[in-house]
Structure formats: C-alpha cells, structure tokens
Amino acid sequence: PDDRLGTALLPLRVAGRTPGQRRVLAAAEQMVVALRSAFACDPEPARMRGPVVAGSGHLLGGCGNLADVLWRTRAECGRRHAQFVAAVRAGCAGPVADVLARAEETTGTMRAALDRGDGVVTDLCRLGDGELRYVALALVLLTGPGVLEVDPAGEVPAALQTLTVLADGFDRGLDGRQRLELLRLAARMCERGHIRLVGAVSDGSWAAGTQGATVVHLDRD
C-alpha cells in the first residue's frame, strides 16, 4: 500500500540465493532496525501544562506525560537526573535547584515543577512555550530507549543499540541561548555513541561551527 513501508516485506520476495540478493536483504534488515530505533519528538507545550495520571513512565513523542516520566527518572538515576537539572538550569530563567514531579492526592494526578530553592516551587504550567520545549528536549537527550516510547530492536544487543531522535522544528520557540545550550548538550550525548539527533530548523546558520554538529542545507533545487 502507498502508506506502508515495503522494506520489511523484502525477505518474502527475495530468496537470498545470490550475493546481490543477500546484500539487498542485509540492507533491508539494517533499514528496519534503524527505523525501529527512531524516536520522533515534537514537544507540545499545551499538553505539558496539564496534570497527568501515572502511567508506564515512557515518554511520548509530544511529551505530554513529562511529569510521569520525571517521577520515574528522578528516582532511578541520581547522576543522570543531576545532569538534567544542570541542563535545565542553563536554559531556564531564574534559579533551578531541582526538577521534580508532585503528586496531587485529591485528583490522583501529578504535575512537574521547578524547585527554585528556599522552599519556592514553580509549576511547569507557568513556564513559556520555549522553556517547556527546552526542558522536554533536554530530558529526551539525557534518557534512552528504556524511558522513551520506542520499540527497541531485540535482535541487537542493548550495548550496541543506537537511538535516533527525530526533532522537527528543533529550535521552535527557543531563544538564542536555549538553542545553543541544547545543541551543545546534544553534541555531548551523541559523542558517547548511543544516541543521534536529526533536527530540522528553518535557519541553520546559528548551529554552524558547533563541534559535533553538522549542518545540511536541503535546497529545493
């Protein structure tokens, strides 16, 4: 069908008897594995502002369940959470001592919030669209397949799996400082070899020259 990828069906059509056919099958397998290891992420601030119910703890592409994921990640890995807090501190206005999720006992839901220190807490619903997108994308870059809503390729050992984050409108709503901080964070995480980022931007001139980043101009001509 026109709306379905036929690559996965090639093994049913190609026997694999000749070297050429085996190369085709190997390429098809790599393509399918790569697509299964992709996470399309486009944070939607409007969805992130509302309360969420406890769920699987896997981040959705629109990041509307950010509070549920924060509840999980903050408890699971203190070192990674500290890196996340540092990233949020670099991209959000005002002091940031912690990023947490708070349960609302009366409704059974939870909300994400910034701990400003000295007992001051700011719910994420009070942040601007750019700050919310920044927080969500930073969390995506600092987590992995175990936290994101993806279908890990079981045939590839976990230590060898590489996650590709697809971010359309990567810099949408971000100011100059936020987009550079996010790009530098992405470069550091990608350098470790377990994550890749492909982001579409309207103007890539601001990213040119950033170590670890490659700007590709897609001209209509």
Is residue 150 within 8 A of residue 161, CB to CB? The reply is: no
In the chain, % helix, strand, coil (3-state, to 5) comes to 40, 20, 40
How far apart, in whole angstroms, are the C-alpha atoms of residue 200 and residue 215? 10
Choose among 209, 214, 188: nearest CA to 199: 214
Tokens linked to 211 = 């170590």
Q: Examine the pLDDT at 66 and tell me if it is beyond 80.
A: yes
Is the dihedral angle over the CA atoms 32, 37, 41, 47 positive or is it negative? Answer: positive
Which of 97, 94, 84 lies closest to 185 in space, CA to CA? Answer: 84
pLDDT in the model for residue 8: 66
CB atoms within 10 A of CB 79: 7
Domains and CATH numbers, the chain: 38-205 (3.40.50)
Q: What is the pLDDT of residue 163?
A: 82
pTM of the shown model: 0.82
- The SS3 of residue 202 is coil
Q: What is the secondary structure of 16-79 as a DSSP string? A: --SHHHHHHHHHHHHHHHHHHTEEE----HHHHTS-EE----PBPTT-TTHHHHHHHHHHH-HH
Q: Is residue 172 scored above 90 in pLDDT?
A: yes
- What was the pLDDT predicted at 11? 73
Examine the pLDDT at 139 and tell me if it is beyond 60: yes
pLDDT-derived band at 62 (thresholds 50, 70, 90) equals: very high
Q: CA-CA distance, 133 to 179, in Å (whole number)?
A: 10
